[in-house]
Structure 1
């Protein structure tokens, strides 16, 4: 599906064109009036499900529209001059692929024809084995992964047996002469499910722990996996039970354009997601590299990504963001880990710009940075929510600050049931650091203590001396304990060296982190006020799903004995 393009240069072009169109109607009477009709996009590739789309055009005359297909329904068939957004719907297709057209006319003198191609209706699932060359619709006639992606239609599950798979197909809009432009491109709303036995037969069940399905870039591909299926209501791509590894994003800042979205070659060595809805389940994005930015997972262009029970580990970038970069997109991360990644700014998790990152029951640990923010970094009007998270052992050699959490330029982060400890930074704010603009931190039932920063400064710090004071309730900040009203508890002192186990569980008599935390009832009430709301076991259990019932523990972990 060709999506509505939101790039600034297109907008400027259309606005400039509209001015020219208006001027063309102000010529001298003896000059001929020239009708104009300009399209933003001339073709749409759509899924086999019912879906809604928009056709944008400019005209200096009244217009009419018609379609030759009964499965294409136009919202309007005529209108006045100007910039027009014409909505249309396509009906679900259960048969072969089909093509229809939409014709735009201006006073019967100028016309444009837009092609709408709809993929075939859903077919049987597809089966893949290493080295197979069959038709693909059974284990006995398994095919290659490249061919499976080529023949798949939305709604298919592609079952992939144990083995190592390397892409051979050039990404859409790529350069066939560039070896780095090969990728496993997911352009339809399909599920890629790995973990089946290498000799799988009918009835085989997936077990990724026993049968590793490796999608490898061979140290050559700029992106091992490219998800280019653009957003459509009710549709998503699912990646499940896979190991995505050995990609190498380029140094050059060039792009391959797919459906109007520019996929940069220098971002996302393992997995790149543009303007798509994707679930990443029980998958590893590991040991990828980038000669520039973000070696692991890159989501951009309005994407919505949900990550569950997955690992984004050991990815190394020459530039910023080793593990994850979310750009103008939303990420929901559950029960996962982001470990041992390396990069400049934001070696672990990076949200910039206008990103939303919600993390639950997730470990961000042992990431190594060389600039701003080592573990969790958001910038430029971004938002973060951390619930039951452990941020530990991250470091940066930079004096710019922000070992555990960093906010740069007008952001907000809410921290609940989270432990931020053991992070080391050459600058200020080894636990949390804020810089530039208004950066809001709200902290509940959490521990930020035992971090190492410049000049033995505070665990939570800010660049601006007049920065907004963080909200700190029922939490530990450095050696101080705060009650539910945000006031320091007199006589209560926290020592991270003796009051946290090696696993970061609060222990010991007189430990305020085990005595003054929030009850499950208080947590439920708090969760209902958050955006997004955090309900049920997500907030009443700890990082490893141990119950908090009857306990008053702060931080990510409780003593389950």
Structure 2
């Protein structure tokens, strides 16, 4: 798990600089050097599963390494001077917590020790009820959520009964005197599963629709949930059947440092995820706030987040990103709502910088922005894929543009089987807007029409006059229908007002969105060519899982069977 206690970055910088000068600039013979050995990591806490880690150190002498336990294996035991990245593996632990040491020696003289602590192998389930005071290993002896998180080890499932749970424990690296630093911190590879009845007994089954397990920040916590379990191959955190609400990210640009990662207090009122792999299933992230940026979900630092059948709704940010912000991370979002959020730039979904945000069978609607990109916005070398998505009713009061989809500064978005309509903004490109750098847009079997923008401009627009034309196949942009080769279809005209129902299903005679779309064979071939590939079982159905077989319908909804 690599829970690492590190030197400060400033200290390490000066130590490294000193060592490099000693190694490169000294005119004495090597045997006259004073041995130097500087560790980057003084301690590790690792999961109870088999895993691989690395010791990083600097030395101006030949080095040797050894361990005092048989469950730690070093990749090398000796080497030459310089910066060294020494890999080691730990074996799975099925017993109690255990500790071992790795000793590194420079030229047989200067010695440093790294302590490796591996968590216990107990993987029993843990049970939580409001007011629980038991040991936690059955419903009859249910414990509190704070205690469950404290005793949990990787592989545990924590079952959470109906009720409201408010954090009282200060986040790692936080300030005990700061009321906002309380959170439910998940530092192990565990599953939190909610939705059980308040009086759950052995055999009770979860039903999150009926029984709400609510994690509430009480309008105080900077983050209701903090996921700090850093990435380890084959491991992930799972949040299932929960409601995460009433978080309030702060205004100050300060951080709590966990495992060398800075968790900013002003980002992520509902949940913040740093350098972690997380699955979010059947969960609501709703009614959270931020005094600065991103009120709902914030994932950063190389995180990988997968979301299924969830709601990220009604989160309100004083700054950018109301619902979701993915930063230098990957998000794959399925069958999920992002509705009714508000913020400055990117009121709905925000990917910036170098983010990947892929959405499938999802709805982005009624988000209210005050700057760039009301619904789905990616920026600075980011990538996005929208499949079977419905984007409607999003608004922005700014003249900066981008109602449905916006790309800013060298991005690429691919849009398939998607309907973007009914978005209204004060600037250009109410459907799709591109600005700054080279932004590539690929549009397949989709409808981008019926949006409102400045000066009655086009639904798909770009700031730069020389911006590359989007790739358009078998789609409608504004009133114009395009065929499979990207050519406008002579005599075909589309009107969103008369050719889409109130539920955004294409209807009517001579509707090009019903006649000139892709066949299921076309879609299957397209899905296989995309990155990431989209399985035929998904791309040949609409957002409501209705088959497209025998149809040529563009957009997210077919009205089929």
The TM tier, using the shorter chain, reads over 0.9
Find the counterpart in structure 2 of residue 312 from structure 1. 312
Contact kept in structure 2, 1:285 and 1:297, CA below 8 Å: yes
Q: Offset at 1:19? A: 2.2
Q: How does 1:203-282 map to 2 (within 5 A)?
A: 203-282=203-282
Find the counterpart in structure 2 of residue 437 from structure 1. 437
Aligned equivalents of 1:533, 1:6: Cα separation in 2 = 42
Find the counterpart in structure 2 of residue 121 from structure 1. 121
SS of 1:547's partner is coil
Q: Deviations over 1:337-359 (max 9, x none)?
A: 00000000000000000000110
Contact kept in structure 1, 2:390 and 2:419, CA below 8 Å: yes
Find the counterpart in structure 1 of residue 177 from structure 2. 177
Find the counterpart in structure 2 of residue 109 from structure 1. 109
Deviates more, 1:133-142 or 1:535-544: 535-544
Aligned equivalents of 2:240, 2:38: Cα separation in 1 = 43
1:26 aligns to 2:27 (yes or no): yes
Cα–Cα, structure 1 residues 390 and 7, in superposed 2: closer, same or farther, change >3 Å?
farther
Q: How does 1:82-481 map to 2 (within 5 A)?
A: 82-481=82-481
Q: Deviations over 1:177-233 (max 9, x none)?
A: 101000000000000000000000000000001100000000000000000001011
Find the counterpart in structure 2 of residue 497 from structure 1. 497
Cα–Cα, structure 1 residues 92 and 17, in superposed 2: closer, same or farther, change >3 Å?
farther
The root-mean-square deviation of aligned C-alpha atoms, in Å, is 1.7
Q: Deviations over 1:489-527 (max 9, x none)?
A: 000000000000011000000000000000001000000
Contact kept in structure 2, 1:195 and 1:210, CA below 8 Å: yes
SS of 1:490's partner is coil
TM-score by length of 2: 0.98
SS of 2:502's partner is coil
Cα–Cα, structure 1 residues 12 and 357, in superposed 2: closer, same or farther, change >3 Å?
farther
Find the counterpart in structure 2 of residue 508 from structure 1. 508
Find the counterpart in structure 2 of residue 535 from structure 1. 535
Contact kept in structure 1, 2:3 and 2:43, CA below 8 Å: no
Q: Offset at 1:12? A: 5.5
Number of matched residues?
560
Aligned equivalents of 1:358, 1:3: Cα separation in 2 = 30
Q: Offset at 1:559? A: 1.4
Contact kept in structure 2, 1:161 and 1:196, CA below 8 Å: yes
Q: Offset at 1:372? A: 0.6
Aligned equivalents of 2:18, 2:391: Cα separation in 1 = 51
Cα–Cα, structure 1 residues 17 and 306, in superposed 2: closer, same or farther, change >3 Å?
farther
Aligned equivalents of 2:261, 2:423: Cα separation in 1 = 37
TM-score by length of 1: 0.98
Find the counterpart in structure 2 of residue 66 from structure 1. 66
Aligned equivalents of 1:461, 1:559: Cα separation in 2 = 29
Aligned equivalents of 1:18, 1:445: Cα separation in 2 = 59
SS of 2:491's partner is strand
Cα–Cα, structure 1 residues 338 and 373, in superposed 2: closer, same or farther, change >3 Å?
same
Aligned equivalents of 2:332, 2:444: Cα separation in 1 = 20
Q: Offset at 1:32? A: 5.8
Q: Deviations over 1:355-400 (max 9, x none)?
A: 0011000000000000110000000100000000001000111111
Where in structure 2 are there 5+ consecutive unaligned residues? none
Deviates more, 1:241-250 or 1:537-546: 537-546
Aligned equivalents of 1:537, 1:549: Cα separation in 2 = 11
Contact kept in structure 2, 1:14 and 1:58, CA below 8 Å: no
Aligned equivalents of 1:22, 1:322: Cα separation in 2 = 51
Where in structure 1 are there 5+ consecutive unaligned residues? none
Q: Deviations over 1:89-119 (max 9, x none)?
A: 0000000000001011011111110010000
SS of 2:549's partner is coil
Find the counterpart in structure 2 of residue 53 from structure 1. 53
Cα–Cα, structure 1 residues 105 and 28, in superposed 2: closer, same or farther, change >3 Å?
closer
SS of 1:56's partner is strand
Aligned equivalents of 1:544, 1:382: Cα separation in 2 = 28
Aligned equivalents of 1:361, 1:540: Cα separation in 2 = 12
Aligned equivalents of 2:168, 2:239: Cα separation in 1 = 19
Contact kept in structure 2, 1:21 and 1:59, CA below 8 Å: no
Contact kept in structure 1, 2:445 and 2:518, CA below 8 Å: yes
Aligned equivalents of 1:77, 1:83: Cα separation in 2 = 15
SS of 1:41's partner is coil
Q: Offset at 1:487? A: 0.3
Cα–Cα, structure 1 residues 376 and 12, in superposed 2: closer, same or farther, change >3 Å?
farther
Q: Deviations over 1:404-429 (max 9, x none)?
A: 00000000000000000011111111
Q: Offset at 1:25? A: 3.5
Aligned equivalents of 2:89, 2:25: Cα separation in 1 = 33
Q: Deviations over 1:6-57 (max 9, x none)?
A: 999798557534422314643599x963221111111111000000001111
Aligned equivalents of 2:122, 2:517: Cα separation in 1 = 52
Q: Offset at 1:2? A: 2.6
Contact kept in structure 2, 1:39 and 1:58, CA below 8 Å: yes
Aligned equivalents of 2:15, 2:543: Cα separation in 1 = 50
